[in-house]
């Protein structure tokens, strides 16, 4: 069922966006957490605002050990359960058996196939029954995110609300909040990883490189999405 998009002021803070959006949704809302600094900042805001928002994560089977460490730190700090969703093991086994462990580096089509199996299909199950979901997307992260809105209808997932409270924040603003609030952060961030995904598809970036340069570094910038945020 499609929902009306609540109006937010153009200068609304992330907290205001969260309050307005969650308050307008007649149904459950969850944060899609990849355990990036953005996602942990949003978790902290949600708890400070006292909003009834759940949390889910996608375990692709190829996450970094450091990602699991920060997931445990979040559970310890905020006492909030994490709903984990996993890819269908039959699909993963078939992919690896037929194409090997690294088929995603051979072509864009193969990479999309891997992302669909490990991320997109589990996301569909995670969003089932929700009235809205929250992301840590920011406009400056990628050329593919320039047309996003703080609150929008997710047409590809049943017309539920998609809430992007940090959309207009810079990386510096995110880290300022994280340091001030002393939120748990993935230690890979301190090792040159501004963006963290699956281990084989993520590497540290050099000083001056774009923050998303370390994601699928063999592809052009306009292709650097996994399919979770299709438009």
Among 33, 198, 201, 226, the active-site one is 226
**Secondary structure (DSSP) of 59-95:** --S-B-HHHHHHHHHHHHHH----EEE---HHHHHHH
Nearest C-alpha neighbor of 24 from the set 1, 5, 2: 5
Q: Give Cα separations from 99 to 63, 109, 202 (angstroms).
A: 20, 12, 20
Which are the contacts of 204, defined by CB distance < 8 A and separation ≥ 6? 191, 192, 193, 214
Report yes or no: 126 and 83 within 8 Å, Cβ to Cβ.
yes
Nearest C-alpha neighbor of 14 from the set 167, 181, 129, 190: 167
Whether 226 is catalytic is yes
Report yes or no: 8 and 151 within 8 Å, Cβ to Cβ.
yes
- How many C-beta atoms lie closer than 10 Å to residue 82's C-beta? 17
Q: Which residues does the annotation mark as catalytic?
A: 226
């Amino acid at each position: 069922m499609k929902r009306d998009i609540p109006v937010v002021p153009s200068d609304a803070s992330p907290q205001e966006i969260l309050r307005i959006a969650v308050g307008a949704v007649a149904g459950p809302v969850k944060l899609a957490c990849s355990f990036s600094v953005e996602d942990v900042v949003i978790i902290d805001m949600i708890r400070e605002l006292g909003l009834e928002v759940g949390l889910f994560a996608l375990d692709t089977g190829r996450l970094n050990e450091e990602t699991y460490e920060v997931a445990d730190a979040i559970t310890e700090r905020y006492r909030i359960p994490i709903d984990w969703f996993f890819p269908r093991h039959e699909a993963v086994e078939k992919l690896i058996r037929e194409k090997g462990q690294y088929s995603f580096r051979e072509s864009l089509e193969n990479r999309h196939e891997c992302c669909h199996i490990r991320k997109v299909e589990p996301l569909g199950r995670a969003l089932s029954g929700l009235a809205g979901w929250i992301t840590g997307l920011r406009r400056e992260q990628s050329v593919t995110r320039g047309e996003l809105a703080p609150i929008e209808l997710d047409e590809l997932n049943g017309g539920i609300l998609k809430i992007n409270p940090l959309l207009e924040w810079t990386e510096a603003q995110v880290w300022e909040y994280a340091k001030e609030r002393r939120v748990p952060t993935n230690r890979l961030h301190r090792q040159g990883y501004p963006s963290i995904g699956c281990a084989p598809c993520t590497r540290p970036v050099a000083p001056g490189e774009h923050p998303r340069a370390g994601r699928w570094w063999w592809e052009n910038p306009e292709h650097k999405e996994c399919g979770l945020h299709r438009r």
